[in-house]
């Protein structure tokens, strides 16, 4: 089918009216170009938004306490409660599906009063009491020293890991800071490490203005007893925290004598659910891109089909001659189909190349101008290209089908009649 002869025939046929061929080709080129660009833009948006989630373990939730809203077992509504370390132990013990159950406590915060002092420098920072595994739930880069470890937890060492933002605020450039002391609410902690976080949005500065100290040391220093402010809970791979969380709530409700249907007593933020929502949005966006792209492509294909019909009409006589000389219907049909597929494929490839070029230039501009919020690295992957090629070949066949049928429907005698 792809001998040099049939190749010559195709080139000959298509180049005879090259301007018309080019115009026709443009329809498909445009369609596939739009498809590629839409898909790439969607991907760019997706990359941008997902980057905001950073490397956070997205299969996680945060859980805090709220006011109890239903009376239960003789206890009134409106009372408050707090988690304690026994809750953490109970959850860990009865739910092996969970990867991490990290109790957390917090002090101070954004906009609050200055709570950290070092020499003459002071600042208002979030101070967290945490367990070592927290770094796996909210990944950060240790830029010097180390993060918290279980030695710190067991010995209740008063050590602190501070953000690069905290270090900038409390220390001069080039000053030694590992091994020095900072005063948090009047209690001395020794700095053992610094961290940085990478996030695409502007919040990273804020996230680097936090201080992590061992949970046990925090409880002791600030008289928290066994209390736990809130928990960060991550499910193991293969489980979804969204499905597991009601079981966690049930354990808490039983332990704190909360009405089983009191949904307001426990507050939570489900990262996984949020992530899924965003993910769903992008699936929808992709569907829209395909829908629009394929519609445009379809109009291009109709254009090709139209032109092929005209070509067949123009070549009725020629087809008659060929058949008188011994061309089988199949050879005529395959010639028309190959022409159509070839034309579709060439123009489609041109569209893909043009799209890729535009994306390449766009990425260059994005790189040169620094990160843009919510948009990053727009791209199409190989599988999309393969899908596009498949669509092209089938549409070429589709476009050529009716013209090819027409071509063999004409009886040679009718095509050859002189009058």
Partner 1 sequence: MIAIKDLHKSYTMGSNSLHVLKGINFSVEEGELVSIMGSSGSGKSTLLNILGMLDEADSGTYTLDGTPIKNLNEKIAARYRNKFLGFIFQSFNLINYKSALDNVGMPLYYQGMKRAERTDKAMAYLEKVGLANWAHHMPNELSGGQKQRVAIARALASDPKVLLADEPTGALDTKTSYEVMELIQGINDEGKTILVVTHEDDIAHMTKRIVNLKDGLIIDDTKINQVRAASHV
* Interacting residue ranges for partner 1, rule: CB under 8 A: 4-5, 12, 16, 317-318, 320-331, 408, 411-413, 416, 418
Q: Is there a contact between 363 and 48 (Cβ–Cβ < 8 Å)?
A: no
The residue (of 5 and 172) whose beta carbon lies closer to partner 1 is 5
Spatial neighbors of 211 by CB under 8 A, at least 6 apart, are 116, 125, 126, 127, 128, 160, 161, 162, 163, 166, 182, 184, 189
> Could you tell me the smallest distance in angstroms from the CB atom of residue 1 to partner 1?
12
Task: Return the CA Rg of the chain.
Answer: 34
Count other C-beta atoms under 10 Å from residue 129's C-beta: 26
Q: How far apart are CA 187 and CA 307, in angstroms?
A: 83
The residue (of 11 and 22) whose beta carbon lies closer to partner 1 is 11
Which two structure tokens, joined as six digits, stand for 371?
């990160």
The residue (of 184 and 408) whose beta carbon lies closer to partner 1 is 408
> Could you tell me the smallest distance in angstroms from the CB atom of residue 419 to partner 1?
10
The residue (of 12 and 176) whose beta carbon lies closer to partner 1 is 12
> Could you tell me the smallest distance in angstroms from the CB atom of residue 402 to partner 1?
19
Q: How far apart are CA 259 and CA 282, in angstroms?
A: 39
> Could you tell me the smallest distance in angstroms from the CB atom of residue 323 to partner 1?
6
Q: Is there a contact between 227 and 129 (Cβ–Cβ < 8 Å)?
A: no
Long-range pairs of 255-261 with CB within 8 A, sequence gap ≥ 24: 255/86, 255/87, 255/90, 256/81, 256/87, 257/72, 257/73, 257/75, 258/68, 258/70, 258/72, 258/81, 259/68, 259/70, 259/71, 259/72, 261/70
Q: Classify 339 as helix, strand or coil.
A: helix
> Could you tell me the smallest distance in angstroms from the CB atom of residue 19 to partner 1?
16
The residue (of 250 and 318) whose beta carbon lies closer to partner 1 is 318
> Could you tell me the smallest distance in angstroms from the CB atom of residue 37 to partner 1?
38
Task: List helix spans (H) across 53-111.
Answer: 85-94
Residue identified by tokens 């080129």 is 29
> Could you tell me the smallest distance in angstroms from the CB atom of residue 412 to partner 1?
5
The residue (of 109 and 412) whose beta carbon lies closer to partner 1 is 412
The residue (of 269 and 330) whose beta carbon lies closer to partner 1 is 330
The residue (of 280 and 329) whose beta carbon lies closer to partner 1 is 329
Question: Between the CA of residue 229 and those of 82, 99, 127, 409, 411, what are the distances in Å?
Answer: 7, 20, 12, 81, 87
> Could you tell me the smallest distance in angstroms from the CB atom of residue 336 to partner 1?
15
The residue (of 213 and 410) whose beta carbon lies closer to partner 1 is 410
> Could you tell me the smallest distance in angstroms from the CB atom of residue 12 to partner 1?
6
Residue identified by tokens 């994005």 is 366
Q: How far apart are CA 304 and CA 348, in angstroms?
A: 12
The residue (of 5 and 175) whose beta carbon lies closer to partner 1 is 5
The residue (of 18 and 269) whose beta carbon lies closer to partner 1 is 18
> Could you tell me the smallest distance in angstroms from the CB atom of residue 14 to partner 1?
12
User: DSSP strand E in 10-111: where?
Assistant: 60-65, 83-84, 98-107
Spatial neighbors of 327 by CB under 8 A, at least 6 apart, are 319
Q: How far apart are CA 265 and CA 251, in angstroms?
A: 13
> Could you tell me the smallest distance in angstroms from the CB atom of residue 9 to partner 1?
9
């Amino acid at each position: 089918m792809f001998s040099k002869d049939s190749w010559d025939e195709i080139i000959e046929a298509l180049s005879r009216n090259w301007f018309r061929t080019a115009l026709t080709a443009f329809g498909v080129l445009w369609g596939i170009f739009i498809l590629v660009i839409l898909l790439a833009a969607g991907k760019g948006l997706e990359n941008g938004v997902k980057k905001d989630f950073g490397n956070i373990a997205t299969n996680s939730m945060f859980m805090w306490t709220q006011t109890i809203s239903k009376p239960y077992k003789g206890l009134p509504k409106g009372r408050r409660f707090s988690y304690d370390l026994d809750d953490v132990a109970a959850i860990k013990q009865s739910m092996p599906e969970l990867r991490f159950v990290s109790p957390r406590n917090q002090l101070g915060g954004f906009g609050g009063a200055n709570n950290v002092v070092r020499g003459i420098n002071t600042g208002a920072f979030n101070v967290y009491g945490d367990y070592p595994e927290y770094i796996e739930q909210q990944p950060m880069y240790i830029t010097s020293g180390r993060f918290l470890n279980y030695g710190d937890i067991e010995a209740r060492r008063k050590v602190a890991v501070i953000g690069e933002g905290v270090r900038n605020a409390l220390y001069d450039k080039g000053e030694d800071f590992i091994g020095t002391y900072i005063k948090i609410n009047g209690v001395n902690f020794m700095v053992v490490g610094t961290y940085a976080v990478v996030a695409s949005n502007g919040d990273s500065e804020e996230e680097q203005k936090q201080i992590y100290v061992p949970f046990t040391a925090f409880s002791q220093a600030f008289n928290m007893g066994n209390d736990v402010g809130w928990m960060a809970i991550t499910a193991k791979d293969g489980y979804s925290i969204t499905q597991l969380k009601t079981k966690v709530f049930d354990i808490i409700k039983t332990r704190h004598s909360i009405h089983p249907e009191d949904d307001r007593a426990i507050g939570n933020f489900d990262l996984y659910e949020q992530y899924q929502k965003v993910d769903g949005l992008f699936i929808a966006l992709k569907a829209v891109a395909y829908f629009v792209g394929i519609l445009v492509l379809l109009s291009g294909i109709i254009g090709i089909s139209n032109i092929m019909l005209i070509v067949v009409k123009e070549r009725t006589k020629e087809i008659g001659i060929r058949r008188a000389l011994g061309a089988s219907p199949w050879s005529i049909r395959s010639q028309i189909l190959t022409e159509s597929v070839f034309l579709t494929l060439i123009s489609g490839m041109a569209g893909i190349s043009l799209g890729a070029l535009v994306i390449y230039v766009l990425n260059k501009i994005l790189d040169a101008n620094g990160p843009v919020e919510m948009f990053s690295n727009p791209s199409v992957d190989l599988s999309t290209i393969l899908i596009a090629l498949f669509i092209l070949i089938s549409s070429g066949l589709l476009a050529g089908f009716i013209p090819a049928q027409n071509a063999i429907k004409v009886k040679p005698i009718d095509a050859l009649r002189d009058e």
